[in-house]
């Protein structure tokens, strides 16, 4: 059994990792780290894990894990690796943004870099919006279709902001409310351009939505292709990728929330390709993708430990 450690196990992404890895057939949880909750059992933070994962949280990382997940805030992962050089002996999967443009790390989007991930020991997990936008664009770029510019919007649940309290995650503010933010300046737009070596600009406007989990993005790209041909490109590209599904109709969030899968749909209107992607920001956009990356680098089936189902209704 592969021994895994999670640093930042008390955050939303960290708790999701624990939930996934507790039932993974090929790993065991070696250590759970949280400086703010050290000494408490994991089940005190996630009561659904009572009797399943009662492992005490510890303040400092140990050195006995084969794989270490860094589920820490942006800006903390790089410092953590400097402070604890013993972690260099482990495979590292970083869920923060710290290493996504670091040449020492492989960008962990399996649908783009599967072969490189298989031999990697340092993996930078993509951002949630970046995952959705990249999956929306990959089949086009793979076919040599480079648009002059890309326009996109997206809406995300409150868990995307993390577990720390801020004014925009309070129920009284979030409920029945939508707010655009980081207009044309969200870091995930540049992350996508870097990961995909994308030359044209990506004009992206994200929005905060009145729900807890999930992302829906919509990208607009000029095209002369008929809708049937565009759909064929996407079906063919994603036929080899088990955690992305091309759908013949626009996906809704309940189709993907609670699953490790992204769903993509295309339409063509007025010589414009409209590409919609839906995924769970905590799973395919974070923890499940991190487990998928771990599976690949360990030589396992990439879907191992990810038999999740949607909430349906």
- The one catalytic residue in 128, 130, 135, 192 is 128
The per-residue pLDDT of the chain, averaged, comes to: 95
Whether 90 and 150 share a structural domain? no
120-171 pLDDT, tens digit each: 999 999 999 999 999 999 999 999 999 999 999 999 998 876 767 677 777 8
Average pLDDT over residues 73-88: 93
Examine residue 311 and state whether it is found in any structural domain, yes or no.
no
Q: Is residue 88 part of a domain?
A: yes
Based on the structure, what is the number of domains in the chain?
2
Q: What is the pLDDT of residues 238-250, one digit of tens each?
A: 999 999 999 999 9
**Domain-located, residue 304:** no
Is 309 within the bounds of a domain? no
Q: Is 128 a catalytic residue?
A: yes
Q: Residue 224 domain-assigned?
A: yes
pLDDT per residue over 268-312, tens digit each? 999 999 999 999 999 999 999 999 999 999 999 999 999 778 887
Asked whether residue 53 carries a pLDDT value surpassing 90, the answer given is yes
pLDDT at 165: 66
121: in domain = yes
Q: What is the pLDDT of residues 172-212, one digit of tens each?
A: 888 889 999 989 988 999 999 999 999 999 999 999 999 99
| Domain shared by 158 and 236, yes or no | yes
> Both 106 and 199 in a single domain?
no
pTM across the whole model:
0.95
**What is the CATH classification number for the domain harbouring 96?**
3.40.50.720
3-state secondary structure the chain: CEEEEEECCCCHHHHHHHHHHCCCCCEEEEEEECCCCCCCEHHHHCHHHCCCCCCECECCCCCCCCEEEECCCCCCHHHHHHHCHHHHHCEEEECCCCCCCCCCCEECCHHHHHHHHHCCCEEECCCHHHHHHHHHHHHHHHCCCCCCCEEEEEEECHHHHCCCCCHHHCHHHHCCCCEECCCCCCHHHHHHHHHCCCCCCEEEEEEECCCCCCEEEEEEEECCCCHHHHHHHHHHHHCCCCCEEECCCCCCHHHCCCCCCEEEEEEEECCEEEEEEEECCCCCCCHHHHHHHHHHHCCCCCCCCCCCCCCCC
Domain that holds residue 51: 2-125+286-297
Q: Are 10 and 74 members of one domain?
A: yes
Are 271 and 134 in the same domain? Answer: yes
């Amino acid at each position: 059994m592969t021994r895994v450690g999670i640093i930042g196990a008390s955050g939303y992404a960290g708790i999701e990792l624990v939930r996934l890895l507790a039932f993974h057939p090929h790993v065991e949880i070696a250590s759970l780290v949280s400086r703010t909750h050290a000494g408490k059992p994991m089940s005190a933070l996630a009561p659904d894990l009572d009797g399943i994962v009662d492992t005490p949280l510890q303040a400092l990382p140990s050195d006995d894990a084969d794989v270490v997940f860094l589920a820490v805030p942006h800006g903390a992962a790089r410092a953590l690796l400097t402070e604890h050089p013993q972690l260099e002996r482990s495979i590292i999967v970083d869920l923060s943004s710290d290493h996504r443009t670091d040449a020492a790390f492989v960008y962990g989007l399996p649908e783009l870099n599967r072969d490189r991930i298989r031999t990697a020991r340092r993996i930078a997990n993509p951002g949630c919006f970046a995952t959705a936008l990249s999956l929306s664009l990959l089949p086009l770029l793979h076919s040599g279709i480079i648009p002059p510019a890309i326009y996109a919007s997206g809406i995300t649940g409150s868990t995307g902001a993390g577990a720390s309290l801020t004014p925009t995650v309070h129920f009284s503010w979030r409920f029945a409310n939508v707010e655009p933010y980081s207009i044309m300046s969200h870091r995930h737009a540049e992350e996508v351009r870097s990961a995909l070596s994308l030359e044209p600009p990506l004009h992206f406007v994200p929005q905060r939505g009145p729900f807890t989990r999930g992302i829906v993005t919509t990208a607009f790209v000029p095209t002369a292709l008929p809708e049937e041909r565009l759909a064929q490109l996407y079906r063919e590209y994603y036929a080899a990728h088990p955690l992305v599904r091309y759908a013949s109709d626009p996906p809704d969030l309940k189709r993907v929330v609670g699953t490790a899968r992204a769903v993509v749909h295309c339409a063509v209107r007025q010589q414009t390709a409209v590409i919609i992607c839906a995924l769970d920001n905590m799973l395919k956009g974070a923890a499940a993708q991190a487990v998928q990356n771990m599976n690949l680098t360990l030589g396992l089936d990439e879907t191992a430990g990810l038999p999740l189902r949607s909430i349906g209704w």
